[in-house]
Homo-oligomer: A and B are copies of this chain.
Amino acid sequence: MKFALTILLVLNTVFSMSVLAGQQGQEDGYRLWLKYDLIRDKEQRQAYAKQLSQLSIIGESPTLSVIKNEFELALPRLLGKPIEVSLHDQRSSTLLITKIDQKIIDQYQLDDDINQSIDGLSNEGFIIKTIAIANKPQILITANTDIGLLYGSYHFIKLLQTSQNITALNIKQSPKVDIRMLNHWDDLDRHTERGYAGESIWDWHKLPEYKSQRYVDYARANASIGLNGTAINNVNANALILTDAWLSKVESLADTFRPYGIKVYLSIKFSSPQQIGGLATSDPLNSDVQQWWQNKAKEIYQKIPDFGGFLVKANSEGQPGPGDYNRSHAQGANMLAKALSPFGGKVIWRAFVYSHEDKTERSLQAYNEFVPLDGRFNDNVSIQVKNGPIDFQPREPFSPLFGAMPKTPLAMEFQITQEYLGFSTHLAYLAPLYEEVLDTDTLVNGKGSTVAQVIDGSLHNNTFSVMAGVANIGNDRNWTGHIFGQANWYAYGRLAWDHQLSSAEIAQEWVKMTLTKKPQAVDSIVNLMMGSREHIVNYMTPLGLHHLMATGHHYGPGPWVDNLSRADWNPVYYHRADEQGIGIDRTSSGTKGISQYAPAWQKLFRNPKTTPVELLLWFHHVPWDYQMPSGEILWTELVNHYYEGAQAVTVMEQQWLTLEHEIDANQFSQVKMALAIQVKEANWWRDACVLYFQEFSKRPIPHGLAKPTKTLEQFKSLSFPYAPGQG
């Protein structure tokens, strides 16, 4: 009878599942990389099951409960059998999760092994080690803190998800960067600036009472890749976020995230003292203003004792800031820093500034403004710098600020959401972009001064370190709109934890956990991912071109746009195409931008011949008939890049179609539909840009390439008033 009931329950569940994941019985993407589907390899599954027959978690805390829940969810599903989880150290336990103490150190000989020495293990780090106790192998997950145990637990589960051998583990990890955060550009009204996956996941209206399950699953996903911070509202901030009603909503989210080791940060409006505080000024040197912020900090910490701090966009694109009172960014940041300091909070101050009045070329302004302030920021301030000097383009050189402010912790700001890389319908794996930037050597202290070393604080011994990624998360069922957007969230988190990981190995991990473990299919998908970003560079902005997108929504090409109120908002400001050639001269004969880089880089960037080809038009205005290393003239090379980029998307689409029976039908179909859009839009970018630049080059489209079927005027006439994500 009991057996019959079990079978029925099981059968019921079989058929339930087929409907739960979209009515057609397929994967809907909500589970991200935490799917925990049964390990199909029977031998491996049985081996794991044997090694994990009894699990003990020692202690009691909300975070330990999270660990217990996660193992109770993951193990039975991965292994196809129930696993006992005990809260006491069972003699029979084969996996032990416990904080470090002397008994553990002795028992597991943690200090016998330099690699596994607890020395240097950070508060968030973990150790996973196998030893034989009485000839019986036992796996230990240990750490200095509960959060370290949580990270170790997710790491261990990933070993199972990716079919790693767990017979002789000897792993020690600490994150290389202290604060690893997401930035949500949430506008408090469910709109997300540059969000392409539905609306914001924060349902502010129903908070604080109504806590969506999604908030929990968001925290799980972040914790599983080591993210420990989230700035939940737009840097173009709304002062309301600091009112009592909104802080109660923030508190509710912070309470949800806390057991997962995730601190909440808020983007603040610098003029809040006036807008919601009733003061006549927001001058950072005014004592009432200073007091207002100190009171506000106290109020926040009463609600949220582990509040992370403030993220600030000031005197940038119309936002208020200390400059409104002729105060420096340092004076503004330090005023906030002083308010947060008693509670351990940080100020993360963005370097993305460029002024309407300043006639210096836009890419130079952040450096000019911030470098002179180096050494003048309080020690709980970090300056958050976008990876390139302009704005998250498909390719930019690294920002010259990296390495130029040795006395100041510099935070990296990457964009995960694809504002300039095809929204949520273009397949663009961004880890190669992140990796390219992090691995670039700034050469400021000679060779071996990589951007990553600037960010993690090791180059200049900074007091703390930060990495931020502008989130691509929305309330679409699969979180990111495009399934491959999940890979960017994942890869960003992994690189924030360890910037030495390669984008290819991260892709491997993600594909195995998300799509398939079949080796050939994994290779095929990873291969497709690894090339994807370069294809976009090619069909949008090859050879160092940048900022060619349409106005406002940034959807589609608009290289012809020349009528915006600010010169540096117009694409023509950046490509400077004329009858002679194309590209912006940032050498000493032009904007002098290269002077901001280390001398060794200046030497390379000075000369078109020694400038990396992929950045040629970033630094030089180059004649149309300039001889490229390939042997082609610039015009032909440029057009070839556009055609190659678009063609590569068609090839991606063909490759994807071969995977139909390798992965879940719904995942297959979603990507297929997105690729159809990407093919269409890649051709649109190609044709619109080539036709437009042809007006200057006055040269034919190279022989053998199909001519665009629409006219430039047709492209110019297109209008998309409701393209998503507008600012």
Residues of A within 8 A of B (CB): 8-26, 28, 30-31, 34-38, 42, 73, 76-77, 80-81, 188-190, 198-199, 203-206, 209-211, 213, 216-217, 220, 240, 423, 425, 475-477, 666, 670, 673-674, 676-677, 680, 720-724
Contacts and interface: CB of A to CB of B under 8 A. Distances in A.
A83 to B, nearest CB: 11
Contacts of A23: 30-31, 34, 73, 213, 216-217, 220
Given A11-B80, A15-B38, A205-B722, A213 B20 contact: no
A81 B206 contact: no
Given A20-B21, A205-B724, A425 B210 contact: yes
A677 B252 CA distance: 14
A199 B210 CA distance: 18
A28 to B, nearest CB: 7
Number of copies: 2
Contacts of A19: 31, 34-36, 73, 77
8 contacts: A15-B38, A15-B76, A19-B36, A24-B216, A188-B722, A198-B203, A206-B673, A210-B425
Contacts of A210: 425, 670, 673-674, 677
A425 B19 CA distance: 26
Nearest to A35: B19
CB-based closest 5 A-B pairs: A15-B77, A12-B38, A20-B20, A189-B722, A22-B213
A622 B217 CA distance: 55
Nearest to A81: B11
A475 B22 CA distance: 13
A724 B80 CA distance: 44
A9 to B, nearest CB: 8
Contacts of A189: 721-722
Contacts of A38: 8-9, 11-12, 15-16
A366 to B, nearest CB: 32
Among A38, A220, A680, max chain B CB count under 10 A is at A38
A531 B24 CA distance: 36
A527 B73 CA distance: 37
B721 A240 contact: yes
A41 to B, nearest CB: 11
Given A20-B30, A475-B475, A209 B676 contact: yes
Contacts of A721: 189, 240
Given A28-B213, A190-B198, 16 more contacts: A8-B38, A10-B10, A12-B80, A14-B14, A15-B36, A15-B77, A16-B77, A18-B73, A19-B73, A20-B28, A20-B30, A22-B30, A198-B198, A198-B199, A209-B680, A210-B425
A723 B77 CA distance: 41
A720 B206 CA distance: 12
B34 A673 contact: no
Contacts of A9: 14, 38
Contacts of A203: 198
Contact of A677 (B198, B206, B680): B206
A530 to B, nearest CB: 25
A490 B666 CA distance: 27
B30 A190 contact: no
A85 to B, nearest CB: 15
A231 B21 CA distance: 27
Contacts of A722: 188-190, 204-205
Contacts of A213: 22-24, 26, 28, 666
Nearest to A69: B24
Nearest to A77: B15
A204 B720 CA distance: 11
A184 to B, nearest CB: 15
A232 to B, nearest CB: 14
B80 A8 contact: yes
Contact of A77 (B12, B22, B724): B12
Given A30-B20, A240-B721, A425 B206 contact: yes
A702 to B, nearest CB: 30
A220 B198 CA distance: 23
A211 B37 CA distance: 27
A538 to B, nearest CB: 22
A10 B19 CA distance: 15
Given A11-B10, A20-B17, A220-B23, A475 B80 contact: no
Contacts of A217: 22-23
A35 B16 CA distance: 8
A12 B37 contact: yes
A11 B525 CA distance: 28
Nearest to A677: B209
A724 B722 CA distance: 19
A680 to B, nearest CB: 7
A206 B723 CA distance: 10
Contacts of A475: 198-199, 475-476
A220 to B, nearest CB: 6
Nearest to A424: B206
Contacts of A720: 205
A199 B190 contact: yes
A417 B425 CA distance: 31
Contacts of A723: 205
Contacts of A724: 190, 205
